[in-house]
Amino acid sequence: MDPIFGKNVFSLKGDRWREMRNTLSPSFTTNKMKFIFDLVSKCSQEFVNYLYDHPEFSSMIEVKDAFTRYTNDVIATVAFGIDVNSLKHRDNEFYTHGKDATNFSGVFRLLKFLLFRISPRMTRMVGIKFLSNSTSEFFWRVINETVKTRDERGIVRQDMIHLLMQARDDEKHQITIEDIVAQAFIFFLAGFDTSSTAMCHAIYLLALNQDVQARLRDEVDRYLEEENGKISYDSLSKMKYMDMVISETLRLYPPSLLTDRTCVKKLELPPARDGYDGMTINPGENVWIPIFAIHRDPKYFPDPEKFDPERFSDENKNNIIPYTYIPFGSGPRQCIGNRFALMEVKLLIVHLLQKFVIKPNEKTSIPLVFKKSSFTLIPKDGFWVSFEKREY
């Protein structure tokens, strides 16, 4: 009923999932990240320059809306080869349809999503589609036109659509235009909302922890000075404190609150504690794994509510028990785009710290109170901070 939602790598299972995952994996290798690094960095610089040139906008800013526009521009450029400036052109089609696709507020949309995951057979019988007709038609049109234009003109651009087109031309893969649209869509959907939310939490925590922000800025300035004010993929990869800050942000505020896995082999779980019964999980049963709860369990992370990047220092990170830190999931089905998402987040923070000091203001919620109608950790009153231009 809804091939865009049903045929993407997130929804597929079994051999078809394995084949599609293997087809997409080359999009996210280190060499591919290096190739697209300049595209992402350009988007990041243009975004931060706009904030710098418009203090009336950035002096008190709700960053969720702003950062979602940044991730929208990055994905449109990297995956679709289309330049979009969502701060200048605020109602562009990519942004408006991205907002529609990632809107889970409201009981009906929430129930519809759960129904798709729990009983796809029922949704097929009833004829329910996940996406609105206008959003579905938009992605079909844009990706169809992109593929057609590249075929006709022999355009080669080293991105996800190119890899899918190569797989389509190899008969053993049996890739159709529906498959190409579905994979390009899920890449857009995953990067549009979760990456921008991770950026918001990182900026919020830096605003509230000026000592951490100062130390991170020192590291950023040091690498920028070595490369005459610019940043490279290699220098970004060497920023140890940046890694620590982002890792601790993702521990406190994981992009997804939970993940799920389907059992393929019978498993006897032992009792959780004395006096409790064990449990049998049978093949075909679905297991929900509460990432947020595990990340904040004092058994694994002492003083779990505290923002402490030192948990991920070279001296301490090896003490973390395997599978207790899983912001991108784990195993064969862990998030395929995690390397891309981290690069996107880190680049934005580098360029922001290069030009601004991030501070809380009277609209900043302390502590955050989250919406109950969202799958991600979005505060009821938004992420409000102030960007003050640095004094050199």
Say if 202 falls within a structural domain. yes
Q: What is the CATH number of the domain that holds 336?
A: 1.10.630.10
pLDDT at 1: 64
Bridge pairing between strands 61-62 and 267-269:
unpaired
Residue 112 near residue 130 (C-beta atoms within 8 A): yes
In DSSP terms, which residues pair with 358 in a beta bridge?
A: 387
Is the distance from CB of 392 to CB of 225 less than 8 angstroms?
no
- Annotation: binding site for heme: 335
Please check whether residue 72 lies inside any domain of the structure: yes
Residue 262, domain member (yes or no): no
Length of the chain: 392
Task: Report the distance separating Cα 357 and Cα 361, nearest Å.
Answer: 12
Which residues face 329 on adjacent strands?
327
* pLDDT score for 105: 63
Q: What total number of domains does the chain contain? A: 1
Please give the structure tokens belonging to residue 312: 């991920």
Residue type, 203: I
Residue 298 in domain? no
Instruction: Give the per-residue pLDDT at 191.
Output: 79
| In the block, residue with structure tokens 């290069």 | 354
Phi/psi-derived region of residue 292, left when phi > 0, alpha when psi is between -120 and 50, beta in every other case: alpha
Per-residue burial over 296-333, b = 16 or more CB atoms within 10 Å of its CB, e = otherwise:
eeeebbeebeebbbebbeeeeeeeeeeeebbbbbbeeb
DSSP conformation class of 312 = G
Q: Which residues are annotated as a binding site?
A: 335
Burial class (CB in 10 A: 0-12, 13-18, 19+), 204: buried
Name the strands in the sheet holding 61-62, side by side, starting at the edge strand that comes first in the sequence: 61-62, 384-389, 356-359
Domain contains 316:
yes
| pLDDT score recorded for residue 382 | 93
Structure tokens, 339? 């390397």
Whole-number Å distance between alpha carbons of 389 and 173: 52
Q: For the chain, how many helices (H) and strands (E)? A: 16, 7
Contact 184, 164 (CB under 8 A): yes
Asked whether residue 267 is assigned to any structural domain, the reply reads no
- 373 C-beta neighbours (distance < 10 Å), count: 13
Tokens 């891309």 map to which residue?
Answer: 340
CA-to-CA distance for 271 and 274, rounded, in angstroms? 7
pLDDT 10s per residue in the chain (392 long)? 677 878 888 888 888 899 889 888 887 888 888 888 988 999 999 999 999 999 999 999 999 999 999 999 998 888 777 788 888 888 888 888 888 877 766 667 677 777 777 777 787 787 777 777 888 888 888 888 888 888 898 888 777 788 788 888 877 777 888 888 888 888 888 777 889 999 999 999 999 999 999 999 999 999 999 988 899 999 999 999 999 999 999 999 998 899 999 899 999 999 988 999 999 999 999 899 999 999 999 999 999 999 999 999 999 999 999 999 999 999 999 999 899 999 999 999 999 999 999 999 999 999 999 988 777 888 999 999 999 999 87
Helix or strand run (H / E) with residue 268: strand 267-269
Q: Which domain holds residue 226?
A: 3-256+308-389
CB 162 within 8 A of CB 150: yes
Contacts of 315 (CB under 8 A, 6+ apart): none
In this structure, is residue 169 part of a structural domain? yes
The residues pairing with 373 across neighbouring beta strands, listed in sequence order, are none
- Rounded CA gap, 334 and 289, in Å? 13
Cβ neighbours of residue 232 closer than 8 Å, sequence gap 6 or more: 37
Asked if the structure places residue 223 within a domain, the reply is yes
The CA-to-CA distance between both ends of the chain, in Å, stands at 58
pTM for this one?
0.90
